[in-house]
Structure 1
Amino acid sequence: MTFADEAEGDAFAKRLDALLDRGIVPTELRANERPLNIQQLVNQYEREAHPSKKDRGALGTLLDPLGATPLTAITANWVDDWISAMKRLEKLAPATIRAKVGALARCCDWGMRKGFLVMPDHPLRTLPDGYAQYTKADEAMAGVKREDVERDRRLEPGEYEAILAVIDGGVLARKQRPLVLEHKMALKCLFVLAVESAMRLREMFTLTVAQVDMARRTVFLEKTKNGDKRQVPLSSVALAELQTFMKVEHGAAPAPATRVFPWWSGEAGDMDATSDYLSKLFIDIFAQAGAVDLKFHDCRHEATSRLFDRTTLSETQIMKITGHKSHRMLMRYANLRGSDLSAQLW
């Protein structure tokens, strides 16, 4: 910059220092932050939008092969070629392909809201159903047909009782010294609620008292994994367990903002750590109970299957309870045992 004299320059510097001390950078001094390629967009998206841990991981894998791609190059043909390359060259599973495409789509959604790019037809959002599945041509070029591995693990007879017994015992065996379980009643309530309601782990440990309506036997989920609100009815078993736990843990009249369970701090940045902690803890609990290869999310499979097994609810009604968006996704969780079905035949 140039000034008429030294006094004018000193006055400008003084005003600038005052602004900078207050954290204000004048517009004329700001660097051009408009992203021009995928790497720049992803970097700014991660700094400002705080995407999920899963999306950050998926986007991180895109930067090396795609980072230099100009935003103006993201067309339908480019997206189709990218998906073909993930199948035919990288030989990725369909679930991995969907994770990468979904993460970039959400990044571009944010970029469009910010005015960084224009995508009238949004080629990442207009893909046909099954776009990640391998066609015969994909299989021939890749030399392999990758398919999603869908878990079908359900609770076997006796496992439910064995898991409750381990929690009630309150001690997990360790090589050096036993681990004493904290919040035994909370762990038991969380497990029972998962098996009876089909709620996700994160949906449960973030619950507040205001979301639980004992009189109506429902739990109101304001924000779910799919971004939708939903109301979850409670079975008599879930209701009784939740009532007992809340009476002991919170007393007769807890404040509406009180968190039902004790693990989450309430900070968004702590959600992943809480999920990881509880998931790993339950894997150890299940292992000690003899429930081999059981994961906490399998409780959602079990709960959804029980809704088919034990009720006359329609698929549409069950989808409202579980929050599944499509019949295909619902069927992944509704693992009806062949022996149970055969018992209903003549």
Structure 2
Amino acid sequence: MSTKRMRPSGTWEYIIRRKGILPKPLSLTFDTEEEGDAYVKRLEQMLDAGILPEDLVARRSDLVSIDDAIRSYMTEVSLPSSDASLLNALIDRWNGQVLTGVDYQWAGVKSMKRKDVMAPSTIRHYVGALARCFDWVVRSGTPSLATNPLRLLPKRYATYTDEDSAAVRAQDKKPKEGVHRDRRLWVDEEKAVRRILAGEKPEKRQRGPDLNFRPAMEFLFELGIESAMRMREMYTLDVDQVDVGRRTVFLDKTKNGSKRQVPLTTVAIQSFENYMKAVKDGDPEMSGFEFDGGRLFPWRDGCRDRKVLAGVSVRLSGQFGRIFAAAGCGDVTFHDLRHEATSRLYEKTSLSDVQIAKITGHSDTKVLMRYSNLRGSDLAVRLW
């Protein structure tokens, strides 16, 4: 017998049970009730006759749905926090949908555009995390998924087609466009940001932004623009991860899960030493913080819980957003400093793409190229 229910998303979930044929209840999801009724009716007729459909034969010993695969993957594989967060959001989205229903024509990407109206970059993040999960499923030998169909998606799969855009507009919504982030700090803007971080009052304003732990804010800005590290990689650092003699920072926790050493410029080293001196000398602007527990920055208490760190990232991003606004460059984000630092590695050094990727932590040089936003004016002076 089977049961059915409409999920909050509007899809229909069917649970089919057959002792002796199905080792456990089979959950299927359909876009419409009519489609589900028709499929389940045919399936039940075959099951009543003792016949297990061919597409379910491989699942006799191990019936696996997308959410089953995600849970197993997250249990058995050590994941970076970014992937874990994305996959947690996807578990309920495809609850009960069988892996055998995932193929090249799979509608999962289409629904992200037409139903959820996600930005192309967001779609790529979700699909990337799920593709890595499916890679593991394939390697594990689960017969339900012999190959990873997400690896067959065409280029620009996340870009809205005319049909996607029409479907979104029919809901009185606006299709999302891919945004290539290429904002860089101009020299005058960088000087203005440093003046604000030094405690100067912004022009035409009665007061500046809140600069709680100002020396730490100042050092974080310098480290970001000089090292190309991600914000979370920096504010979760311990003091002993910085090796002044070798001019390196050792990162044991990164977004993609790999460890790496980041070389530091002389500017970054000087900023580090100035900050260390401020804390050790009892600078009143760092009141309440010491290098207890080995922490380099004051914004976390040693906890590495993803939700806690996400809250810290949001608060710091907002605080720097106000600093940039006070400096007259309010469209700059803290993450743009990573773009800026990466671009400077191309402009000021002769390092190769592979060497720069080792510094920035990019596993794909195609992604790296999106970060290296070289100014046309700087390139022009190199021409004849």
Q: Normalising by structure 1, report the TM-score.
A: 0.73
Partner of 1:167: 197
Give 1:196-235 correspondences, 5 Å limit. Answer: 196-235=226-265
Are the structure 2 counterparts of residues 35 and 245 from structure 1 closer, same or farther at C-alpha, using a change threshold of 3 Å?
Answer: farther
Task: Name the residue aligned to 1:4.
Answer: none
Secondary structure of 1:219 counterpart: strand
Query: Partners of 2:355 and 2:276 in 1: how far apart?
Result: 28
Q: In structure 1, what is the equivalent of residue 155 of structure 2?
A: 130
Higher relative contact order (CA 8 A, sep 6+): 1
Give 1:279 deviation, angstroms. 0.7
Match of 2:121 among 95, 106, 109: 95
Paired position in structure 2 for 1:258:
294
2:33 matched residue in structure 1: none
Cα offsets for 1:133-163 (capped at 9, x unmatched): 44xxx73543579652111110012111211
Alignment of 1:45-56 (within 5 A): 52=81, 56=85
Query: CA distance change for structure 1 residues 149 and 178 in 2, over 3 Å: closer, same or farther?
Result: closer
Aligned to 1:63: 92
Residue identity opposite 2:120 in structure 1: P
- Partner residue in 2 for 1:190: 220
Let me know the Cα RMSD of the aligned residues: 4.0
Equivalent of 1:304 in 342, 352, 355: 342
Whether the 8 Å CA contact 2:250–2:262 is kept in 1: the answer is yes
Deviation for aligned residue 1:109: 7.5
Q: Is the 8 A contact 1:263 1:274 kept in 2?
A: yes
AA in 2 matched with 1:97:
I
Q: What is the percent sequence identity of the aligned residues?
A: 41
Kindly indicate which of the two structures has a greater share of residues assigned to helix: 1
**Alpha carbons of structure 1 residues 52 and 320: separation in structure 2 relative to 1, 3 Å:** closer
- Shift in Å, 1:102: 3.2
Matched residue, 2:22:
none
Shifted more, 317-326 versus 282-291: the winner is 317-326
- CA offset digits 1:181-202 (Å, max 9, x no partner): 2211111000001001101100
Q: Residues 188 and 124 of structure 1: is their aligned pair in 2 closer, same or farther, counting only changes over 3 Å? A: farther
**For residues 230-309 of structure 1, what are the structure 2 equivalents within 5 Å?**
230-250=260-280, 258-269=294-305, 270-309=308-347
8 Å contact kept, 2:322–2:330: no
- Give the whole-Å Cα distance in 1 for the aligned partners of 2:381 and 2:202: 38
1:94 Cα deviation after fit: 2.9
Tell me the residue number matched to 1:27: none
Say if 1:171 and 1:181, in contact at 8 Å, map to a contact too.
Answer: no
> Secondary structure of 2:180's partner?
coil
Query: Match for residue 15 of structure 2?
Result: none
Give the superposition deviation at 1:75: 3.7
Aligned length: 304
Mark the CA change 1:143 to 1:325 in structure 2 (over 3 Å): closer, same or farther: same
Cα-to-partner distance string for 1:311-333 (whole Å, 9 max, x where unaligned): 12222211111111222111111
Deviation at 1:68, TM superposition (A): 3.6
- The separation in 2 between residues aligned to 1:176 and 1:54, in whole angstroms, is 43
Structure 2: segments with no counterpart, 5+ residues: 1-24, 26-61, 167-174, 282-289
Aligned mates of 1:51, 1:222 — CA distance in 2: 11
TM-score by length of 2: 0.66
Alpha-carbon separation, structure 1, partners of 2:364 and 2:72 = 33
- Cα 1:330/1:111, change in 2 over 3 Å: closer
**In structure 1, what is the Cα distance between the partners aligned to 2:177 and 2:303?**
37
Question: Aligned in 2, Cα 1:265/1:74: closer, same or farther, shift over 3 Å?
Answer: farther
Quote the Cα distance in structure 1 between the aligned partners of 2:214 and 2:325.
Answer: 17
Partner of 1:332: 370
Equivalent in the alignment of 2:164: 142
List alignment gaps of at least 5 residues for structure 1.
1-31
